[in-house]
């Protein structure tokens, strides 16, 4: 039922957007859902970013010139990349580098390869693309120079399914209406996400929008996590009690002596 209500809401946004008097090429976007609930049977999910381009009445219809890039970024986190080296015959973590202020999840979707949408300089300024997003909160006008550890970090995050960049993943349903489905893996980090949509024409950013998405555990899962964090000692005692009961019950059920 909630799903149906969402579809209706999204449709309403899109219809309203199409009906509005247009001034300049602008973006109107919406998410298929603004909340992803993790329950006991969660094995991954999907969020769809919908949008429409609101046309300037002066500009002639040139839909083929519009380029849309959609990103979905998870909450910022701090990580460490380590490198193993053979020491006395065994492999040991030696050098490490802190990777600070990076999104815990990052999906980048576009219709055409992102390198063709905008120049490196434009993308560097926006931090758009796996090769451009800021690490350690460093933004620059030129493409960032990645260290070996940062390159390995991005590669490992991609292997883990947390970072992805795909072209051909933004689908135009009409001249102005597009949708970009983004799959969420089962191990998706919880938190507040930001979905950004960038509208380009001829390599120039015309407009961008931001929508918020909350991914969180609900019900039993949520209760357990909160309890484990806030009342660790009681949680521990309860677990021990459950364990003792299980063992005791088994002893009674299977008693042979």
Partner 1 sequence: MELYLPIAELPMNVFMLLGMGAAVGFLSGMFGVGGGFLLTPLLIFSGIPPAVAVATVSSQIVASSTSGALSYFRKRAVDVKLGGFLLVSGVIGSYLGVKAFTRLRELGQLDLVIAICYVTFLSTIGGLMLTEALRAIAAQRSGRPLPVKRPGGRTWMQRLPLKVRFSRSKLTISAIPVVLLGIAIGFLGALLGIGGGFIMVPALIYLLKVPTGIVIGTTLMQTLGSMAFATVAQAATNQTVDVVLGLCLMIGGVVGAQFGAEVGQKLRGETLRALLGLLVLSVGIRFAVDLVLTPADVYSISFMSGEQL
CA distances for 143 relative to 133, 153, 256, angstroms: 9, 17, 72
Task: Yes or no: say if 29 and 194 are a contact pair by the CB < 8 Å rule.
Answer: no
172 touches partner 1 (CB under 8 A): no
Sheet with 163-167, strands from edge to edge, namely 35-38, 204-217, 191-201, 66-73, 106-110, 163-167
- Options 116-124, 138-146, 150-158, 208-216: segment touching partner 1 (CB under 8 A): 150-158
80 touches partner 1 (CB under 8 A): yes
Q: How many residues bind partner 1 (CB under 8 A)?
A: 63
Q: Which residues, numbered 36-65, are part of the site for partner 1 (CB under 8 A)?
A: 38-43
Which x/- pattern over 89-128 shows residues binding partner 1 (rule: CB under 8 A)?
Answer: xxxxx--x-xx-----------------------------
> What 3-state DSSP class applies to 154?
helix
**CA nearest to 206, candidates 48, 51, 75, 39:** 51
CB of 14 to partner 1, least distance (A): 33
Q: Phi, psi at residue 137, to the nearest 5°?
A: 60, 25
Question: How is residue 170 annotated by DSSP?
Answer: -
83 touches partner 1 (CB under 8 A): yes
Residue placing its CB nearer to partner 1 in the complex, 59 or 239: 239
Q: How far, in Å, CA of 102 to CA of 76, rounded?
A: 5
Q: How far, in Å, CA of 193 to CA of 75, rounded?
A: 6
CB of 152 to partner 1, least distance (A): 4
CB of 183 to partner 1, least distance (A): 15
Which residues bind to partner 1, rule: CB under 8 A? 38-43, 77-86, 89-93, 96, 98-99, 149, 152-153, 155-157, 160, 162, 186-187, 189-190, 217, 220-221, 224-225, 228-229, 232-233, 235-240, 242-244, 246-251, 254-255, 257
């Amino acid at each position: 039922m909630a799903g149906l209500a969402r579809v209706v809401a999204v449709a309403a946004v899109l219809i309203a957007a199409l009906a509005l008097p247009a001034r300049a090429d602008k973006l109107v976007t919406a998410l298929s859902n603004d909340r992803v609930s993790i329950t006991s049977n969660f094995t991954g999910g999907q969020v769809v970013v919908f949008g429409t381009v609101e046309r300037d009445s002066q500009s002639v219809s040139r839909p083929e010139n519009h380029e849309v890039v959609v990103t979905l970024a998870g909450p910022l986190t701090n990580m460490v990349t380590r490198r193993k080296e053979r020491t006395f015959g065994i492999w040991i973590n030696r050098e490490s580098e802190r990777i600070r202020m990076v999104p815990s999840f990052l999906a980048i979707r576009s219709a055409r390869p992102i390198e063709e949408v905008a120049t490196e300089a434009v993308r560097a300024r926006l931090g758009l693309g796996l090769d451009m997003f800021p690490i350690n909160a460093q933004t620059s006008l030129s493409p960032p120079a990645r260290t070996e550890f940062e390159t390995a970090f991005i590669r490992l995050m991609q292997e883990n399914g947390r970072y992805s960049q795909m072209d051909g993943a933004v689908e135009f349903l009409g001249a102005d209406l597009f949708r970009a489905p983004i799959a969420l893996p089962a191990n998706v980090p919880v938190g507040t996400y930001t979905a950004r949509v960038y509208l380009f024409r001829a390599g120039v950013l015309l407009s961008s929008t931001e929508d918020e998405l909350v991914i969180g555990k609900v019900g039993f899962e949520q209760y357990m996590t909160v309890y484990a964090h806030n009342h660790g000692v009681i949680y521990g005692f309860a677990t021990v009690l459950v364990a003792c009961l299980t063992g005791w019950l088994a002893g009674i059920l299977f008693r042979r002596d």
